[in-house]
Amino acid sequence: MFRFVMISIVGLTGAAAASLLGPPSNQASAQCCKRAPASTSNEPVVALGAFDEKDKSKTKSLATVYALDTCPISGEKLGSMGEPVVKTYDEREVRFCCSGCVKDFEADKAAHWKKIDEQIVKQQLAYYPSDTCFVSGDKLGGEMGEPVNYVWRNRLVRLCCKGCIKDLNAEPDKYMSKLDEAIIAKQRDKYPLQTCVVSGEKLGSMGKPVETIIANRLVRLCCADCLPKLKATPATYLAKLNEAWKASGEKAVPEAPKGKSDDHKGHDHGDHDH
């Protein structure tokens, strides 16, 4: 059972468990892919993610990761001006091309969050797994009108109306776990890679594969030690995964209907009863 993006570390020891419970580090990266007995099963031993540093009972870290590949201020590719500057605001990570852009972002956060949200919707819409609102259970684009594209942390959630935003924010674990389950159901069977997107090792060669969800994509890894590298440069590995989906000729999910983005200014809850 998932509680938002829950994880089991039963059977993991040493570097594998340490990399799950701790933040990314050079040491964890250097230890990546210690060889374990090969698995005869393709089922994951770890079901999703890494523990949140502040609250070990909930997994928010991969929801907060900034998976876009450009700076929200300059528009420059991250890494083009050296190591990106990583900041966190209200449990949302933002990555900048340089320290100079941080001040500009903080001078008008509302405007820049709106721009980031628009980019996140564009990035994640094609991978959205359901035509149903996970809060109300209503069909998206039904009698409530156009779906609302809402960004929770750094993930797209599609809702039938603005009224559902309040419920989502009140019980995020409940509703985000439904989204995670839908992503797994849609993407696991047709997953386009037989190798780890981080290490290049064959899935199953390091023990049972590790799974996580980032930017509404299921990502399958050869071992838990690859999680810190994925978190450190998510856009790099998502680009590889996107190319694999394209090359496979498969779609991660059926084409999603367009919707309207929420501007976070109004959270009407009078549209319908839940």
Give the count of alpha carbons within 13 A of 82, CB side only.
Answer: 5
Tens of pLDDT along the chain (274 residues) come to 444 333 333 344 444 444 444 444 434 333 456 665 555 555 554 444 433 344 433 433 478 899 999 999 999 999 999 999 999 999 899 999 999 999 999 999 999 999 999 999 999 999 999 999 999 999 999 888 899 999 999 999 999 999 999 999 999 999 999 999 999 999 999 999 999 999 999 999 988 899 999 999 999 999 999 999 999 999 999 999 999 999 988 766 555 445 555 654 433 444 555 5
- The neighbour count for residue 88, using CB atoms within 10 Å, is 10
Residue 53: the pLDDT is 41
Helices (H), the chain: 14-21, 26-30, 61-64, 100-107, 109-124, 163-170, 172-187, 227-232, 234-248
pLDDT value at residue 197: 96
In this structure, is residue 118 part of a structural domain? no
Structurally, how many domains does the chain consist of?
1
In a domain, 1, yes or no: no
pLDDT in the model for residue 61:
42
Which pLDDT value is given to residue 273?
Answer: 59
146 in a domain, yes or no? yes
Is residue 87 in some structural domain? Answer: no
Residue 74 lies in a domain: no
How far apart CA 179 and CA 91 sit, in angstroms, is 19
Neighbours of 223 (CB within 10 A): 29
Tell me the DSSP string of 191-241. -S-SB-TTT-PBTTBTBS-EEEEETTEEEEESSGGGHHHHHHSHHHHHHHH
Quick one: pLDDT at residue 20? 43
Does residue 44 belong to any structural domain of this protein? yes
> Where in the sequence is the domain holding 133, given as residue range(s)?
14-59+125-261
Predicted confidence at residue 142, as pLDDT, reads: 82
Cα 184 from Cα 189, distance rounded (Å): 8
- The pLDDT, as a whole number, for residue 62 is 75
Predicted local distance difference test score (pLDDT) of residue 58: 40
| CA 101 – CA 82 distance, rounded (Å) | 13
